[in-house]
A and B are shown apart, each in its own frame.
Chain A
């Protein structure tokens, strides 16, 4: 009979609430599930268009497609190319879209669309094997020029990155010195940089980037230079020697050597067009949740029918929270502890005003009929059973009458829980006999007030959004309800009830 310490209890509740909130935040960050409904997120729709001339032979067109480009997340890919077989093949980090067709004649156009979301955290996954510099064989007199240039650049640098920057500055078209003109022409500029860096013992490669601008068409890829610093690939702009990838550039090709190979066609070329769209963030999160490890927590995995049921079920804890608050802290009398929640759930289906009218009329008619039943001197169980049947008759009558009068809302009376209503009528009738009509109105009004409060909370779009998309938030609700179970303070109604005590103070 000793008072146990409540510290473990409060600690457990703290844990519960913290767990609920942190899982929700985690899922928000990882899956991008938005906190609010109607949140929009930008999405880039990039379309690659391949044109070539068919020569009457079987065609195999193969294009490199983005594979975890830095700064973006791919949410969907699709190809549009009637009559072509299509598949995406992946070979040691080289992702390619392949189209194939037996007889191809005339101008052909293939489309490949990809939807991307800007995501600052997205990074290219690093290769398992460390890249090695590829040896390059230079002939004289280039060999001497290369050595000299590399020495110049090395003299002004200390790291692979700075060497790369210095080398770009030396070879840049506007600053070419005498001995560089021997090596550089505009056509081979990037390739030369690539080879020189490899020669200098730095793993390097070229990549192609696409500058994303809204509603641009006929865009071409821009070459970028990448070097491997021992941990990851660093990107340089070969024109400005700037390190790092500009924010609006999508690296389309990184790993692969060739962008497009067409076997069996001539004059092939690729051009890109792009569009910036905004889509609901929630839709985006759903699209991604399936292939994310955290997706298993999502109720979107369930069949649609179960989803609808859970949408309703997951609102119930909010109703329970309202009832607990109203009864424990405010001190409103209700008829039946959780009857208000069930009424509130029914209101969610029927909407408020028609629901209120329907509920009050069903209960009122039921009370009238119950007063006749009470004069029949029936046993309790059969009286309640009779009442349930009568309640069903009443709702059917109201539905038909409502329908005849042109109110479709009359039909929704069926959402009310019949058995609960029958019990409510029974209790109210007894209450009327024992305590008088005043108590019936106090409890009836209290129940309806709590039900309406619960309804107002449950029917907000935010409530259904949060409860369904972050089911873990129910841990917070649970924590709050448990916490309220320990509330030993005065109820609001008691401040009124004990008011006469003022005179004794």
Chain B
């Protein structure tokens, strides 16, 4: 592993951490909108008004004593996900995919008991996973079941689609596939595979794991070259709508495609990571600057998605 010269990175238009923080997040993301995305419960409510659907909410645990009710509620459930409302980077998310007697089966296949889940809930309430360690609430959501066309690429976890939306325009996208290394999570820094998606048509470009290019999924062994996402335009429009819902100029939109419900919003991220550039094999900066230079912005999500599909082909 060597080093790359900063001039070369600049030529590639690679957005870096400091510039992202100063020139994009600090400039385009208003502080008042942060709670909307940092709190998944608020996100759900905010985007619902804009016809963006999210996984069904089963229960909200706000107080320590409400944990006892979780046991009753979860009694008959096969699969669900427990999430800290203010968690970041997928921390504290526990996905249950099945039952084994009184115990539950995690997405990774590990058996966990009810006390384990109750302790997890109490940790969430105490703020262990929240951004500033502040007290939090836990939300229990319906389990998302990915469509098999995508699910077969992912090892255990649900594959999701990350779209970076800048001022309402989808500028870059990638498919994130869980691996054994990532413990069923779709976080790139934990070892998930990132597959760059062409904004123009939703077809796969390159794939990376741990920042290194790969061509086969390390666990499933499937080739990652010819993945295509259906309903691509609909998903871009959905991502674009989140701009109106939150007012955040620079954000990451995480979508999943559910077997029954179609595309759903999993969460929003006001500080989307930079690895998406590696998965796409190109930098974000040229696209961001192109949007910044637009004299007449488009007003509807549909127009913006169409503009993006027209403009950001794999060539640009």
Q: Which residues of A contact B65 (CB under 8 A)?
A: none
Given A435-B190, A488-B23, is A495 in contact with B278 using a C-beta cutoff of 8 Å?
Answer: no
Contact with B along A312-343 (1 / 0, CB 8 A): 00000000000000001001000000000000
Q: Judge whether A501 and B12 touch: CB under 8 Å.
A: yes
Interface status of A496 (Cβ within 8 A of chain B): yes
Query: B172 CB to closest chain A CB, in angstroms?
Result: 14
* Residue from A3, A331, A496, A502 within 8 A of B17 (CB atoms): A331
* Residue from A380, A494, A495 within 8 A of B123 (CB atoms): A380
* Residue from B28, B91, B118, B281 within 8 A of A504 (CB atoms): B281
Q: When chains A and B are docked, how far (Å) is the Cα of A491 from the Cα of B123?
A: 35
Q: Judge whether A380 and B28 touch: CB under 8 Å.
A: no
Query: A442 CB to closest chain B CB, in angstroms?
Result: 11
Chain A's closest residue to B23 (CB) is A488
Interface status of A490 (Cβ within 8 A of chain B): yes
* Residue from A331, A380, A498, A503 within 8 A of B14 (CB atoms): A498
Q: When chains A and B are docked, how far (Å) is the Cα of A489 from the Cα of B22?
A: 10
Contact with A along B109-123 (1 / 0, CB 8 A): 000000100110011
Chain B's closest residue to A3 (CB) is B27
Q: Which residues of B contact A379 (CB under 8 A)?
A: 64, 122, 126
Given A3-B27, A435-B190, is A486 in contact with B14 using a C-beta cutoff of 8 Å?
Answer: no
Q: Judge whether B282 and A500 touch: CB under 8 Å.
A: no
Query: B291 CB to closest chain A CB, in angstroms?
Result: 12
Q: Judge whether A377 and B190 touch: CB under 8 Å.
A: no
Interface status of B16 (Cβ within 8 A of chain A): yes
* Residue from B12, B22, B91, B119 within 8 A of A505 (CB atoms): B12
Contact with B along A81-104 (1 / 0, CB 8 A): 000000000000000000000000
Q: Which residues of A contact B91 (CB under 8 A)?
A: 434
Interface of B is mostly: helix
Chain A's closest residue to B212 (CB) is A500
Q: When chains A and B are docked, how far (Å) is the Cα of A379 from the Cα of B131?
A: 18
Q: When chains A and B are docked, how far (Å) is the Cα of A494 from the Cα of B12?
A: 14
Most central of A331, A377, A490 by chain B CB within 10 Å? A490
Interface status of B9 (Cβ within 8 A of chain A): yes
Interface status of B2 (Cβ within 8 A of chain A): yes
Chain B's closest residue to A383 (CB) is B126
Q: Judge whether A1 and B249 touch: CB under 8 Å.
A: yes
Given A1-B28, A490-B9, is A500 in contact with B211 using a C-beta cutoff of 8 Å?
Answer: yes
Interface status of B5 (Cβ within 8 A of chain A): yes
Q: Judge whether A490 and B6 touch: CB under 8 Å.
A: yes
Q: When chains A and B are docked, how far (Å) is the Cα of A494 from the Cα of B211?
A: 11
Q: Which residues of A contact B283 (CB under 8 A)?
A: 501
Q: Judge whether A498 and B278 touch: CB under 8 Å.
A: yes
Q: When chains A and B are docked, how far (Å) is the Cα of A486 from the Cα of B18?
A: 8
Q: Which residues of A contact B281 (CB under 8 A)?
A: 501, 503-504
Q: Which residues of A contact B11 (CB under 8 A)?
A: 505
Given A377-B115, A487-B18, is A503 in contact with B4 using a C-beta cutoff of 8 Å?
Answer: no
Chain A's closest residue to B190 (CB) is A435
Contact with B along A251-291 (1 / 0, CB 8 A): 00000000000000000000000000000000000000000
* Residue from B6, B27, B208 within 8 A of A489 (CB atoms): B6
* Residue from B8, B22, B119 within 8 A of A502 (CB atoms): B8
Q: Judge whether A381 and B126 touch: CB under 8 Å.
A: yes
Interface status of A129 (Cβ within 8 A of chain B): no
Q: Judge whether A495 and B5 touch: CB under 8 Å.
A: yes
Q: Which residues of B contact A499 (CB under 8 A)?
A: 1-4
Interface residues of A (CB under 8 A from B): 1, 3, 328, 331, 377, 379-381, 430, 434-435, 485-491, 494-505
Q: Which 4 A-B pairs have the closest CB atoms?
A: A380-B126, A488-B19, A377-B119, A504-B281
